[in-house]
A and B are shown apart, each in its own frame.
Chain A
Amino acid sequence: MVTQSGQGEQMGAGEQQDARQGPGQKTPRWTHEMLMNMDRRFIFVVIAIAVAAPLIFPLNLPVRSSREAEAYFNEMEKLQPGDEIIFSFDYEPDTMAELDPMSVATLRHAFRKDVRVLAQTTYAGGVGIAERILRQVAQEYDKVYGEDYVFFGYNPDYSATILRMGESIRSNYPTDHYHAPTDGIPLMKGVDCYDDIELLVTVTASALAEYWIIWAGGKYKQRIIAGNTAIQAVLIYPYYQAGQLAGFLGGLKGAAEYEKLIGVSGAGLLGMDAQSVAHLAIVCFIILGNIGFLIQKSRTKQTGGPRDSRQGG
């Protein structure tokens, strides 16, 4: 799968070097060139197979839960029947593959414990996702809209929404998503601000977890747990270490860990085999590329040719 000229791939530095050596010097140059310049479509096919094969033929690899996922689980587990939580669907369809499993598992856990849920979203595209998941999980546990859960829909401006809810949820949401006045919803009796809420759960693809921490957690002392995409999870560690975040889930793996903790299998656990094999495939590609690079580097040193212009960076 050596790159053909004219396919938009640039000639590697080693290739240029070897071309300058002339016909008199015989060096088996195909090895490192092949390793360093695989066709991108070959990589695409391997990744597609690495993801698809374990979904069709599962390996059932064991999933171990992390300390952060256990903390998230424990916060949910502490809730008592009749307690209220705010659940914010802070994501859109682009990341639903990662975050839907967390939302589904968290709502299952909440409804199983008869915890009441005030759901909302700070993304317009989160409305459809929230409606689908709430409907699905509420049906599973025979929960009644207005008594066991309520959906306020989307509200523009996340920062103002977070702060306004600290003062009054009713004023922030005069009606629910379905035009019913908030005052008339049975679940909202005696509930109006963060003081009346046991736990806030944000499932987010952006920096929203940080803003919930800064404003709802910092100003109103609201206890918070977060489900994050993998990319965001790595940024959230300082808040968790500082105690500003009570627990969090990171990416599909986090969802799988939580599903295992609550004992209900979902898309997270089902995807872990594919996740493992795909990661292994990518690591193999990186290693192969570097083997090629090191061979090229050693040959450049032997022949005393010019260094790779990108070296040393």
Chain B
Amino acid sequence: MKRTGPVVFGFLIGMLMLIQYFTQVPWIDDRYNNVLDWKQVVFGITLILGVVSLFLHHWKKIERKTGGWGYSVVTIAGLLFMIAAALIFGREEGPYPWMFDHVQAPMQSTMFALLAFYVASASYRAFRVRSFHAALLLTAGVIVMLGRVPLGEMMGFHIGEHYFSLGTISTLILDYPNLAAKRGVMIGVGLGMTATAIKIILGIERTYLGKGA
């Protein structure tokens, strides 16, 4: 009941979803649609569980007065304020969308914008021509970086009568060696995903169920 039950249940559901791809039986189609709907509810509730866990984590920090608990107060205040704003004024207008537009969105986008500085610093420090392959990576990176912006598109060189702009060279890199690399990885990952999915349905792979499964 605790171990085999979930695996058998998973097998039945997995087989239903797999079989539906190859058949056109109305009953199977209907159950397939039901499973898709259930899956959305389960996913949504799982996300809610995540927010509840976040709340409990910060609540415990406040209760125990652990280091930086004041910041946990800010987090919980922000969370409760948004819920109250949506309940009182609605999701369409008032403080709920205002907080999203003018607090959450600017902060979230700035958090990622910080990476521009760090990526510049890391590129400067890490990219050294230490070997043939490192040189290749660096050259491809620099050509793509310059070739995909207007300034780089204006740069180029002549070989005889032919003019090669960095834009053209970067397109060639993206269309051939890059495409081959991405496709090779994609096929490899695809095979891995398929093998794992089969093992999950057959109950061979159970680690996702947690300890003792």
Using a CB–CB cutoff of 8 Å, the interface residues on chain A facing chain B are 38, 40, 43-44, 47-48, 51, 61-64, 66-67, 92-97, 124-125, 128-129, 131-132, 155-157, 160-161, 163-164, 167-168, 171, 178, 219, 234-235, 237-238, 241, 250-251, 253, 272-273, 275-283, 285-286, 288-290, 293-294, 308, 310-313
Contact = CB atoms under 8 A, between A and B. Distances in A.
Given A43-B121, A289-B127, A312-B131, A131 B97 contact: yes
B204 interface: no
Given A94-B108, A156-B47, A237-B179, A276 B152 contact: yes
Nearest to B129: A290
Contact of A47 (B39, B106, B117): B117
Contacts of A285: 120, 123-124
Which of A129, A234, A286 has most chain B Cβ within 10 Å? A286
Interface of B: 21, 29, 32-33, 36-37, 39-44, 47, 92, 97, 100-101, 104-106, 108-109, 111-113, 116-117, 119-121, 123-125, 127-131, 134, 138, 142, 145-146, 148-154, 167, 171, 174-175, 178-179, 182-183, 186
Contact of A286 (B101, B123, B152, B178): B123
21 contacts: A47-B116, A62-B153, A93-B106, A93-B108, A96-B109, A124-B47, A128-B101, A157-B42, A160-B43, A164-B33, A164-B37, A167-B32, A238-B183, A278-B120, A280-B146, A281-B120, A286-B123, A286-B124, A290-B128, A311-B130, A313-B134
B116 A279 contact: no
Contacts of B40: 155-157, 160-161, 164
A64 B150 contact: yes
A108 B127 CA distance: 41
Given A61-B154, A286-B124, 19 more contacts: A44-B117, A48-B117, A93-B106, A94-B108, A94-B112, A132-B101, A156-B44, A157-B40, A157-B43, A161-B40, A235-B182, A238-B186, A276-B149, A283-B142, A289-B125, A290-B138, A293-B129, A293-B130, A311-B131
